[in-house]
Structure 1
Amino acid sequence: MTSNPTTQNDFSLAVHGGAGTILRSRMTPEREAAYHAGLRRALNAGRVVLADGGSALDAVSASVMALEDEPLFNAGRGAVYTSAGKQEMDAAVMDGRDRSAGAVAGICGPRNPVLAARAVMEHSGHVILIGESALEFCRRQGLPFEDPSYFYTEQRWNALQETLAMRKSGADDQDESRKHGTVGAVARDRNGNLAAATSTGGMTAKSPGRVGDSPVIGAGTWADNETCAISATGHGEIFIRYAAAHEIASRMRYAAQSLEEASRAVVIDTLAPAGGSGGIIAVDHAGNLSLPFNCSGMYRGIVRSDGKLLTAIYDEPLVEFSDPNDQRN
């Protein structure tokens, strides 16, 4: 999916709640409505920032925070569990103005991991901090922390038990929603600046210490004003090996491909044959949006300066849902 470019004073924002959706046969109308509502809340959080003349970086941070606070998505509250029954979260942010970036990996405690990543970018001389040292850094920065019970959801705990049982029996887990799930946002603000943010709990029953593509700059997260901003979701190992986000930007920079051409070439023609199930959301310097995926679905949505919140889950058009509780201004 692509969209028309913005005018000079317009903005563009896209969010995703992860690729590898619940199978259509298992999706209830109530649950589907809940996913759309969660995506709309994330879109509106970023839209408010952009409509007020705020930066792309602030907008993607606000959108991802909203997704981290929503237990339906695999990030922050509602993150999946490792094989050891622990939650280890990763996040990254990148500013397209100067390629500033920050990331954290293997943490549990900060209420919003995306703010931990931003703190690394803005208050340290590093790009990635991990584990206990990252947590201590976050404490020194005064970030809000939560107890493990805050992040727990019965759905994620049950998914861990089911996955471990299947492994023990030798069964093959065909449920994409357990194999990968991430949240992210990309934006172009009214000044033409780009930014990206990504946050995840990783893969259900992953090995303790495993880190996917989300916090790896150039794999799952990228932003450069001259080309594009990207947030990825999918099989992280493959996205890392193919430097997926940077590959899209490189095709635009060196092969003069459009955002849509480059995005689809990487997601459909490169990652899919290599086993890289998943997708990306992307915005370019002109405000074009692209949201390709190569799996059963991807929770996703966009909003432009007209304020219309458009969302979708499966291989279907983005649509605007009426919401009597909509608080847009």
Structure 2
Amino acid sequence: MQNPGWSLVVHGGSGVIDRADLKPEQDRAYRAVLAQAAEIGATVLRRGGVALDAVETAIHVLEDDPLFNAGRGAVFTADGRVELDAAIMDGATLAAGAVAGVTRVRNPISAARAVMERSPHVLMAGSGADTFAASEGLAEVEPGYFFVERRWRALEKQLTREGVAVPRRPHGVSEDLAQAALAHDEGKRGTVGVVARDARGHVAAGTSTGGTTGKRWGRVGDSPLIGAGTYASDRSAAVSGTGEGEYFIRLSVARQICALVELKGLSLQAAVDEVIHTELTDLGGQGGVIAVAPDGQMAWAFNTSGMYRARIADGHPLEVAIYKDEP
């Protein structure tokens, strides 16, 4: 497929995701939400919308679903809190926005876009970012909104293994929903992201995450760091990553992929393979990326046992996959 009118790729995190780990109903649930996110983003692009809108709209689907480690389904910190990170970038202008450690914003990706479009800054963190999001009229929620039973149990297991005291269970949390009960613990590499190319040839990327289970000391990973977990440029590609953030930061994974395309002339697939299967793997890191180029190329690569993923383009049917042995 060459030069489509538009294209879009989605990921819902990489990690320990083997066929034996997921029950049939979990497999179906994840595929259904990935397909929903891809189709909603594609609808924006079919109607002539811009890549940024497609990215934000598709990520909302993933942030609102308790299956994924972003927004409503985010993992807990060692203190029993949810701290959310997100970033978005416009390949046409190199404008970018990000938030880190927010706790009240329902959709962190929209907070990141507000930083990009309605402030002079690129990255805001903590309570200041929450205050800014509220001042811009973004939807806020009570902390109990983010509670997912399986995520809490994952925290208990993690802290017990580390010999760390488990915090008191939050008060007043709602009963676990059937969908939330299907959430799978993919380890420390859960994130969601979307990249898109619109009919005008512009690309955009967005990433959103709850970080790692049991994180402490205000830890921030690669997702909200422009060039590490998120990057977009019309001169090369749009990239969103998922994996062990410390390694993605050290390698500037997203920007490195774009540099290989722009400066060395690699195809998009060759660039993502080089960074993930050679550079990241050689450093000892695990994870994956999705990417789309201004000419419509779509690519993904991961060195884990699975990555929740989907892609769709003008003239190209929807593909949804989870495991390594799928195309």
Fold similarity call, TM over 0.5: yes
The alignment of Structure 1 onto Structure 2 pairs a total of residues equal to 308
Aligned to 1:250, the other structure's residue is in SS state: helix
Q: Which residue of 1 aligns with 2:122?
A: 127
Q: Which residue of 1 aligns with 2:31?
A: 36
Q: Which residue of 1 aligns with 2:46?
A: 51
Q: How far is the alpha carbon of 1:21 from its aligned partner?
A: 4.1
Normalization by structure 1: what TM-score?
A: 0.91
Q: CA offsets per residue over residues 161-198 of structure 1, 9 Å max, x none? A: 011111129xxxxx981212000000000110000000
Aligned to 2:17, the other structure's residue is in SS state: coil
| Residues 3-22 of structure 1: pairs in structure 2 closer than 5 A | 4-7=1-4, 10-22=5-17
Q: Which residue of 2 aligns with 1:181?
A: 190
Are residues 1:229 and 2:235 paired?
A: no
Q: Which residue of 1 aligns with 2:290?
A: 281
How far apart in 1 are the matches of 2:55 and 2:37?
9
How far apart in 2 are the matches of 1:282 and 1:149?
34
Q: Which residue of 2 aligns with 1:211?
A: 220
Contact 1:159–1:178, Cα closer than 8 Å, also in 2 = no
Q: CA offsets per residue over residues 42-89 of structure 1, 9 Å max, x none? A: 101101100000000000001111100110000000100111111110
How far apart in 1 are the matches of 2:303 and 2:325?
13
Normalization by structure 2: what TM-score?
A: 0.92
Aligned to 2:187, the other structure's residue is in SS state: helix
How far apart in 2 are the matches of 1:233 and 1:104?
17
How far apart in 2 are the matches of 1:179 and 1:301?
21
Q: How far is the alpha carbon of 1:307 from its aligned partner?
A: 6.5
More divergent stretch after superposition (204-213 vs 119-128): 204-213
Q: How far is the alpha carbon of 1:94 from its aligned partner?
A: 0.1
Q: How far is the alpha carbon of 1:235 from its aligned partner?
A: 0.4
AA aligned opposite 1:77: R
AA aligned opposite 1:128: L
Identity %: 48
Q: Which residue of 2 aligns with 1:220?
A: 229
AA aligned opposite 2:188: K
State which of 19, 34, 41 in structure 2 corresponds to 1:24: 19
Aligned to 2:152, the other structure's residue is in SS state: helix
RMSD value over aligned CA atoms? Answer: 1.4
How far apart in 2 are the matches of 1:24 and 1:239?
26
Contact 1:21–1:313, Cα closer than 8 Å, also in 2 = no
More divergent stretch after superposition (256-265 vs 308-317): 308-317
AA aligned opposite 1:221: T
Contact 1:84–1:208, Cα closer than 8 Å, also in 2 = no
AA aligned opposite 2:131: E
* Structure 2, gaps ≥5 residues long: 165-183
How far apart in 2 are the matches of 1:193 and 1:236?
27
Q: Which residue of 1 aligns with 2:264?
A: 255
Aligned to 1:217, the other structure's residue is in SS state: coil
**Poorly superposed stretches of 4+, deviation over 6 Å:** none
Q: Which residue of 1 aligns with 2:210?
A: 201
Q: Which residue of 2 aligns with 1:163?
A: 158
How far apart in 2 are the matches of 1:42 and 1:228?
21
How far apart in 2 are the matches of 1:176 and 1:220?
21
Q: Which residue of 2 aligns with 1:61?
A: 56
Contact 2:311–2:319, Cα closer than 8 Å, also in 1 = yes
